[in-house]
Structure 1
């Protein structure tokens, strides 16, 4: 019979003898077996005398029967059946009591426990009645009462106690399983939370890197172009050199202003509660970032640096009062800004066309440069090689479409289409910006 917990012992182990989980269980069962064997051996002397057999055989039988209590955890049903079988010999009281307790506490079917307990009760009653009837003459009622008392006392308490301990053990095992399951779930939730936190940190680092590039790359590129022009005309045209120097100073101040604004947002996000940091940082850069209304000034800066740039606007924005979502306007601005920066780096002297088109529910932008002027020298600006990738990621993050590639007649084109959204409402996750092409 298979048991569980303390009463089960090592029933799941292989081998005919070693069914205990802990040494103290083995010591307890062996001790009970020794006491039971001594009791049955002593009672076997009387049994041998009543049956006319040699006392040695009675003692040997009693020792063998009583020693079976050692196997109570492994075979509780067999121990109880053996106790019931030797009830007529008036031996094995400890064997019967402990065997019934073990059977009731085990996971044996309850009907088996009830049947064997009833048989033990009936057997004890009959044996007690037969043995005491001759000793108490004329007191039949007293004999019955005494027999019932002995049968109940030797059967009901161990069964009830075993049922109680078995139910308690199963309850504790169930609670332990629930606790283990809850611990596993909590561990899984903690792992997932850590994964989400790591993902959020990675996204935040990527976003910060892109924002820093947006702020620095375009301004610094124009500053380098103006510095080169300043160097070229410093001697020949001092007035133009002064204007170029002023432009360099203005762009440097603008770059510093944008950097201060971004650092302020980052400080605010670092002091905010952990769940709100990404929201604060994203919201700050989206609401405080550039808009479509600043594209004219952006194009003007490139013109001031000597680039031939045409700016075309087609259509009217849907819901002109509300405008587009802040993320949409910022992304559109950054795409044009990065494309112009690439033109300064890789297409010096080329004619550039910037187109902005307002359509139903979306806004499209296109920056196209023609073939490079062979006489113009490249400014030697460094390139990270990730500009197009960054622009694509920014556009796709808002559910837009991004296309770029060389033109057949020479030159390069960058196109993007963004869903318009509604004013002040985000249409997607906070997007990053591109690095140099």
Structure 2
């Protein structure tokens, strides 16, 4: 047998009220959730009504009442079992009331089971089970006394025997249905608890999946930003120098062929360096199943090992070769600072010099690099333009933002802005512990 009922933790009037509300809201046939529950209860009520009809007729015959009236009463009493899921307490009380008439055997068994399996507070279940057991024992004791009474001997000789038999009979008719109902109730609560836990775990997994998707999307966005920043640094600097050299080459092509030849060779070197750096970055994006096409290098390039502080002098020389007056000073003992930190400082200097080429043609610049105990700092300053015509170099406005993102990613500080003499300054400080 199975019962239906909402899980309401705890006992008491509040729990009983919650049960009543939950029962009232159940879908289905009145208070049945499933049709088979309705059919089972109707069948049990029918069997109980037939049983109680015979027992009621027998009781009426012993007491001098019309057997038909007793049978009709038995039918009404037995049919109460159809209400066991809705009002289990009322069903058990009817069974206890009919105990003196020795009526409602099935009604009492099923009623006690339903009561114990329902969400009725346990103290009410224990009280009603005790009342049912005591009534059953009392009726059985009186019945046995009548059957075992011997006119030739004292009835007191049979009292201990009848008392023990009556107690065992009451225990046998009350204990099993109550224990079975309590077991079903505990098992149902356990299943509901496991289902709630499974639902909770499912919700947690959904949240974790959403967070993982958000982290993946954030990582993709950060990677796109990093790639865009690297592409900007490589292309903007190299192409800016190439445009400057191309303008100089045009100016001296007829006047000084030897200088024009040197400028042309420098243009080729810068183009190959740009291709090498682009090839390094694009190679990271390639998958193993799609090998990158080989771009032949016409000569080995010193830039292939990547940006570092040791290459700042070469970077400054490139700008000097493009006609910019650049001075590099180094403070402190030179030492390795970690590839990521050195690349960050290198890119800051590179972008700052590129901005001088773009926005302050003919201006002089100073690059100061300082090795400190716990950090490495760089300061790039330039004066105002001397009136030299500006090269037609496009600007996306992301140079300063990219420098700041690089530096702050290491926990460093970045500042940029105009100076009092009309020039511009860029400063960055990167802590060494992040390298």
**TM-score bracket, shorter-length normalisation:** 0.7 to 0.9
Q: Report the CA distance between 1:247 and its aligned residue.
A: 0.2
Matched, 1:344 2:361: no
Q: Report the CA distance between 1:312 and its aligned residue.
A: 2.4
| Aligned match for 1:189, one of 208, 218, 234 | 208
In the TM superposition, 1:4-403 aligns within 5 A as 4=6, 12-14=22-24, 18-136=30-148, 138=150, 140=158, 147-148=166-167, 150-267=169-286, 289-313=306-330, 315-317=331-333, 320-321=334-335, 323-374=336-387, 376-403=388-415
What residue is the counterpart of 2:297 in the other structure? none
Paired with 1:51 and 1:189, the residues of 2 have a C-alpha distance of: 74
Paired with 2:48 and 2:266, the residues of 1 have a C-alpha distance of: 107
Q: Which structure has more RCO (C-alpha within 8 Å, separation ≥ 6)?
A: 1
Paired with 1:146 and 1:357, the residues of 2 have a C-alpha distance of: 103
Paired with 2:7 and 2:345, the residues of 1 have a C-alpha distance of: 68
Q: Report the CA distance between 1:102 and its aligned residue.
A: 1.0
SS in 1 for 2:415: strand
Q: Alignment RMSD, CA only?
A: 2.8
SS in 2 for 1:12: helix
Q: Report the CA distance between 1:386 and its aligned residue.
A: 1.1
SS in 1 for 2:426: strand
Q: Report the CA distance between 1:220 and its aligned residue.
A: 1.2
Q: Report the CA distance between 1:288 and its aligned residue.
A: 5.2
Q: Report the CA distance between 1:11 and its aligned residue.
A: 5.4
TM-score normalised by L of structure 1: 0.83
Paired with 2:190 and 2:349, the residues of 1 have a C-alpha distance of: 68
Whether contact under 8 Å (1:9, 1:21) holds in the other structure is no
User: Residue 60 and residue 5 in structure 1: after superposition, are their counterparts in 2 closer, same or farther (change >3 A)?
Assistant: farther
Structure 1 gap ranges (5+): 273-286, 428-437
Q: Report the CA distance between 1:160 and its aligned residue.
A: 2.1
| Aligned match for 2:416, one of 404, 426, 435 | 404
TM-score normalised by L of structure 2: 0.83
SS in 1 for 2:362: coil
User: Residue 299 and residue 214 in structure 1: after superposition, are their counterparts in 2 closer, same or farther (change >3 A)?
Assistant: same
Whether contact under 8 Å (1:395, 1:418) holds in the other structure is yes
Whether contact under 8 Å (2:5, 2:23) holds in the other structure is no
Whether contact under 8 Å (1:125, 1:148) holds in the other structure is yes
Structure 2 gap ranges (5+): 9-17, 151-156, 290-303
User: Residue 271 and residue 67 in structure 1: after superposition, are their counterparts in 2 closer, same or farther (change >3 A)?
Assistant: farther
Paired with 2:23 and 2:391, the residues of 1 have a C-alpha distance of: 80
Paired with 2:383 and 2:113, the residues of 1 have a C-alpha distance of: 97
Paired with 2:103 and 2:238, the residues of 1 have a C-alpha distance of: 104
1:382-405 CA distance string (max 9 Å, x none): 111111111111111111111111
1:24-76 CA distance string (max 9 Å, x none): 22222233223323322332222333333344443343233222222222322
Q: Report the CA distance between 1:216 and its aligned residue.
A: 1.8
Whether contact under 8 Å (1:9, 1:19) holds in the other structure is no
Whether contact under 8 Å (1:33, 1:69) holds in the other structure is yes
